[in-house]
Amino acid sequence: MLKKPLIILIFAGLYLASCNKDFSPIGADQWQPMRPLTPLEKSLVESAGNFGLELFKAIEEEDQNKDIFISPLSVSMALGMTLNGADSSTYQAMRQTLQLADLSNEDINRSYQSLLKLLLNADPKVIMEIANSIWHRDNIPVEASFLDINRTFFDATIMPMNFKDPATVTAINNWVNSKTHGKISEVVDSIDPLTLMFLINAIYFKGTWQYEFDKDKTANASFYLMGGETVNCQMMRLESDLSYYSDDQVQIVELPYGDGAFSMVILLPRSSDNLHSLIMNLDKTHWEYYISQLNTSSVGLELPKFKLEYKLIMNHVLSQMGMAVAFDPFHADFSRINPQLQLYISSVLHKTFVQVDEEGTEAAAVTVVEIGYTSVGPHGIYMRVDRPFVFALRERQSGTLLFMGKILQPQWSE
């Protein structure tokens, strides 16, 4: 048993389709694909899947001692909108990081557009909602083509706002709260004077298990932590025919929702010591192999109920994955948003929520890409003290050093 036994891919059913996997036995008597994926959709699904696995591994390196829950789809879509404003090396770095290097800009946009429609109508018994919005400072011009592209292909709501008005913060948070059905209520607490824009993706998912757990069978049980300690949990129990695979390293089971278009895939290492290595080895080849080996078996499953809220600023993770230039105030190129300003991504915030119980799963995710600008052009002098710093007081005539200090976290009170 593990502290983090579940690698939860809520949208695993989508990636399965790109692996040429027959979805039987998951609801084989109920669910049938609406239509085959187009070549562009297959390419985007594969790229998004690869990006999601690499993103998960990068976050695992950052948060080895924390529970993790992310939405690769949300991050990909928010950055996909942002990509329409990038140019030159920034565009290439972002496209490479998103694993979209084989697609043209137009193909990328059209793929996201058709994929949106496909996801929203994949299963009538599952609630799947995706919303995009762009909030920008109303007194600074934004290229109309950038806004039009994202409105057309991502169905993005465009909101020019007075960023000096505190009501704008409220409006952004209200939008997020509404689109996630109250599961994520706040993503912005204030707006920096040098923020030009927020590009936001919100996803809400609610699915009922195709084979529900019997609440009467849920009981207290021990859950073993990584260090060997135990805690109590509410353990659910189910006996059913499920897609299952095991070897000497891992057990894998797939739990379908609704009519079977969506599923949860659970990977449980044989030993808690192998959890990190399992995650770090989980690339496209391993994932497709595991999925291809799933077969119908009579499974007795015990799964703890859980609820998790997760938050991560992804700047460092995405920089490590290859798009550091997009975060560089002097070298990023987002001239397709505004060619007159030196723009860059100042922050990528990702917040999620998930609840798993006897009835099914409720999950929400929000990704906020914040676009900032420097107060001068790329060749001017710019300094922004927004991180720990050292300071000194001296007497200039004699050069006497009077005081010297270091600030890690500024404090202030009246």
Instruction: Give the residue extent of every domain in the chain.
Output: 1-386
Which three-class secondary structure state does DSSP give residue 277? helix
The number of angstroms, rounded, from the C-alpha of 259 to the middle of its chain's C-alpha atoms is 25
Please state, rounded to an integer, the average pLDDT across all residues of the chain.
87
The number of angstroms, rounded, from the C-alpha of 98 to the middle of its chain's C-alpha atoms is 12
Residue 46's nearest CA partner among 26, 70, 76, 67 is 76
Claim: this prediction has a pTM higher than 0.85: yes
β-bridge pairing 126-137 and 157-161: parallel
pLDDT band at 407 (very low <50, low <70, confident <90, very high): confident
Arithmetic mean of pLDDT, 285-311: 93
pLDDT band at 364 (very low <50, low <70, confident <90, very high): very high
Residue 37 or residue 395, greater confidence: 37
Looking at residue 83, its amino acid is: L
HSE (CB half, 13 Å, CA atoms) of 384? 13
Residue 148 has what pLDDT? 98
Residue 219: CB atoms within 10 A of its CB come to 11
65-79, 106-120, 144-158, 220-234, range with the lowest pLDDT: 220-234
Yes or no: say if 301 and 238 are a contact pair by the CB < 8 Å rule. yes
Residue 401 has what pLDDT? 66
Yes or no: say if 41 and 114 are a contact pair by the CB < 8 Å rule. yes
Residue 409 or residue 165, greater confidence: 165
Q: Give domain 1-386's CATH number out of 1.20.1090.10, 3.30.497.10, 3.40.50.300, 3.30.390.50.
A: 3.30.497.10
Distance of alpha carbon 127 from alpha carbon 41, whole angstroms:
21
